[in-house]
Amino acid sequence: MLFEYFLNMNKEVLKNIYKKDKEKGLIAYGAVVLRRSFTSKTSSYYYKYRRYYDVIHGGERHKDYTTEKHAMYTEGVEVAKWEMLEKIDKELDTIYWYDREIYKIYYSPEKQTLDSIAKKTGISRNSLFTTLDNVRIHLKSKIKTDE
């Protein structure tokens, strides 16, 4: 896969990498290419090896065993995720209102940053970070002791 990538890439870029850093540069560049190939959903590796397929036999469509296994796993993960969110919500109800509201604003679907919250509320960024960090630590410790 990496060899094929090097063959298809711009030769001048490959020469420049080799001239600049020799083998170390090529190894580092190759490592980046491999990491991106393994993690990207648009890479040929994903479409060839990691993607789940529906197997078609005689005009009938049924899912492959791995797809069924994956579906069962993801259902269990979804249930566990919702149970964890319920625990977090219950624990948030017990903490001080300021901490709870800052936490809810930061983790709301609007995906606000600390800087944007600081501008809107007039609260310093450092204070927001400290509050969020303390709430995270509190939630982690409470949820671990509940399990």
pLDDT in tens, 49-67: 665 554 455 544 444 545 5
Cβ count near 17 (within 10 Å): 17
Arithmetic mean of pLDDT, 1-22: 76
Domain that holds residue 17: 2-51
Question: Is 25 a domain residue?
Answer: yes
Last residue in a domain, options 51, 68, 83: 51
In-domain check, residue 70: no
**Beta pairing partners, 63:** 54
Instruction: Report the distance separating Cα 134 and Cα 42, nearest Å.
Output: 38
Q: Domain for residue 62, yes or no? A: no
Q: What is the pLDDT of residue 32?
A: 81
* Residues β-bridged to residue 62: 55
Residue 80 included in any domain: no
Task: Summarize the confidence of residues 30-38 as an average pLDDT.
Answer: 78
In a domain, 30, yes or no: yes
Residue 54, pLDDT score: 46
Is 112 within the bounds of a domain?
yes
Which residues have CB under 8 Å from 7's CB, separation 6+? none
Phi–psi pair at 57, nearest 5 degrees:
-125, 120
Task: Check if the beta carbon of residue 128 is closer than 8 Å to that of residue 114.
Answer: yes
Query: Are the beta carbons of 131 and 98 closer than 8 angstroms?
Result: yes
Please check whether residue 65 lies inside any domain of the structure.
Answer: no
Helix axis angle, 125-146 relative to 114-121, nearest 10°? 120
Q: C-alpha angle with apex 107: 140 to 90, nearest 5 degrees? A: 50
Quote the CA–CA distance of 22 and 76 in Å, as a whole number.
49
* Burial bucket for residue 103 (CB in 10 Å: 0-12, 13-18, 19+): buried
The answer on pLDDT for 109 being more than 50 is yes
Question: pLDDT tier at 46 (50, 70, 90 boundaries)?
Answer: low
Domain assignment present for 68: no
More confident residue, 28 or 65: 28
Domain count, the chain: 2
- 3-state DSSP call for residue 41? coil
More confident residue, 31 or 77: 31
